[in-house]
Amino acid sequence: MSKTAVHYPLFKKEDTDAFFALFQNNLANFVIISVTMLGMGFPTDIVFGKVVPGAAVAVLAGNLYYAHMAKKLAIRENRTDVTALSYGISTPPMFVFLFGVMAPALALTDSHEMAWKIAVAACFISGIVEALMGFIGRWIHQNIPRAAMLGALAGLALTFIAGEMMFNTLQIPVIGLVVLAIVVVGIIGKMAMPFKIPASLFAIIVGTVLAYLFGYAKLDSISSGLSEFGFYPILPTLATFEGFGLLFGTAATIFAVVLPITIYNAIETMNNVEAVGALGDKYDIKESMIVDGIGTMIGPIFGGAFPTTVYMASTGSKWMGAGRGYSILNGIVYIFAAVFGLVAVISSLIPISAIAPIMVFIGISMIATAYQTSHSKYFPAIAIAMIPYFSNYVMTRFNNDAGEVVSGISPAIVPLGQGALITAIILGAIVVYIIDGNYIRASLFSFAGMLLSFFGIIHAPAIAFNASPEYAIGYLVIGLYFLIISYTKKADVKKDQQDEELLEEKVT
């Protein structure tokens, strides 16, 4: 009897909620990029004519491919409940490229155009490295414990997503709390909204209406966004190649930022694919990492300057029961928004307090997934893996303007936050293997920490020889300590076996 082919729908009603969640995530990043670059003095023809359209092309390419991957998985496993991976601009690397690439490049060159070209070149190189890392993704996936990976991701979700967005939610409590309540009731409580409107859309509508009713949003603020309305054709640019000469010349010091953030971005993709796999959709990690790398390279060809990645929102979309339609729609909408300059218009219409609660839900879902899909004995590993991102958040948000305050709290905050995701995985993996009694592997991860510290991948501001000697020595010491424990355990086991054999001989 022939097996009936599964009908995997192009779009279903659950895709609507997931679309608005992913749309808001990308919208927030597009708005942050636009506002920050304009604040740095970048002209609108670069921001809305190059960067935003280039990023939109990358978002479209990635979302279309991930929708294709979802269809392949649905057909292969004969399922209709497959959820496409969420894809967009990677938030932490976005901040790194804004303040660790663009801002220094602008200071070095005193030219907004040259700074943009340097950032575009750095983004393209980041894509190449990430795509190449895809070939070792399976090895990483097999040798890094799930609890360590998901714990690191949960730390990012707690700080930059749920925590940051909760702050924005409560800036205007009368809006934020109402929207958050609607999201929780509609998505977690699974209660239908009036007229069967998707919960996320209904929450945005209510939040926006409240903002205007209570005077928190002014009609005058819309005019600034409408002034940017126009036609911005998506055209290829040679800025990447021009930026290479600058990146390897005048701005060579900025190049040191690219490798650590690329390693982070590749691991973020791996972690997010792993999180979705824990919920039932087991995508190929290698393929996903290569796709992210290619997507990151496509953006700079059209002027984009920010790496892309699989979002942690993928787990939230899975919880919502989405398919592939939300991914396709998201890519198409952003092309439309970029071409007609609607990013500025949309961002002026919807207050952040109406968007932020959706992101709080996404962050919470990722934290919950880390614990729900791991054995309870590994909870301590998840908890310790979440801590480095607390330091990274404090470092990122406060160190520039309040460096003395941060240092006064603890001089360890900044180095612990540098390379936070990699540090989190190393610490989490060490704890996992200690729990399992595998001290050899615990020592291997300790020695990895030693090498990464020595060359400045973690616990240091830039790549350098002997970049963080104290941390390198610390990891070396604990690695040797674990080896001693392992040797001692083997000696004790051997002695116990010998004692048992002697006892048996005496009995006989």
The average pLDDT across 262-274 equals: 80
**Alpha-carbon distance values, 421 to 134, 263, 265 (Å):** 18, 9, 9
| Shared domain check, 483 and 408 | yes
Beta bridge partners of 87: 310
Q: Give the tokens for residue 210.
A: 């409240």
| Shared domain check, 227 and 124 | yes
**pLDDT: which is higher, 432 or 455:** 432
**Which of these three, 350, 367, 394, is where a domain ends?**
350
pLDDT tier, 292 (very low <50, low <70, confident <90, very high otherwise): very high
The answer to whether position 171 is within a domain reads no
**Which of these three, 350, 365, 388, is where a domain ends?**
350
CA dihedral 53, 59, 64, 69 (to 10 degrees): 160
The answer to whether position 183 is within a domain reads no
Number of structural domains, the chain? 2
| Shared domain check, 385 and 298 | no
The answer to whether position 356 is within a domain reads no
The answer to whether position 254 is within a domain reads yes
Percentage, residues of the chain above pLDDT 90: 33
The average pLDDT across 326-332 equals: 91
| Shared domain check, 390 and 344 | no
pLDDT tier, 347 (very low <50, low <70, confident <90, very high otherwise): low
Its domain, for residue 287, covers 14-156+217-350
| Shared domain check, 243 and 131 | yes
| Shared domain check, 441 and 296 | no
The average pLDDT across 377-396 equals: 90
Q: Which amino acid is at 181?
A: A
The answer to whether position 50 is within a domain reads yes
- pLDDT at residue 328 in the model: 93
pLDDT tens track for 465-490: 898 999 999 999 999 999 999 988 87
| Shared domain check, 386 and 336 | no
The answer to whether position 505 is within a domain reads no
**pLDDT: which is higher, 138 or 16:** 16
* Of the listed ranges 59-63, 250-254, 303-307, 385-389, the one predicted with least confidence: 250-254
The answer to whether position 177 is within a domain reads no
| Shared domain check, 92 and 235 | yes
Q: Which spans in 97-195 are helix H? A: 103-109, 112-133, 137-143, 146-156, 164-169, 173-183
- pLDDT at residue 252 in the model: 60
pLDDT tier, 46 (very low <50, low <70, confident <90, very high otherwise): very high
Residues 6+ apart with CB under 8 A from 394: 406, 409, 413, 417
Q: Give the tokens for residue 319.
A: 């919880």
- pLDDT at residue 1 in the model: 39
| Shared domain check, 237 and 118 | yes
- Across all residues in the chain, what is the average pLDDT? 84
First-last CA distance in the chain: 64
pLDDT tens track for 174-197: 999 999 999 899 988 989 888 878
- pLDDT at residue 202 in the model: 87
| Shared domain check, 275 and 141 | yes
Q: Whole-model pTM?
A: 0.70
- pLDDT at residue 84 in the model: 92
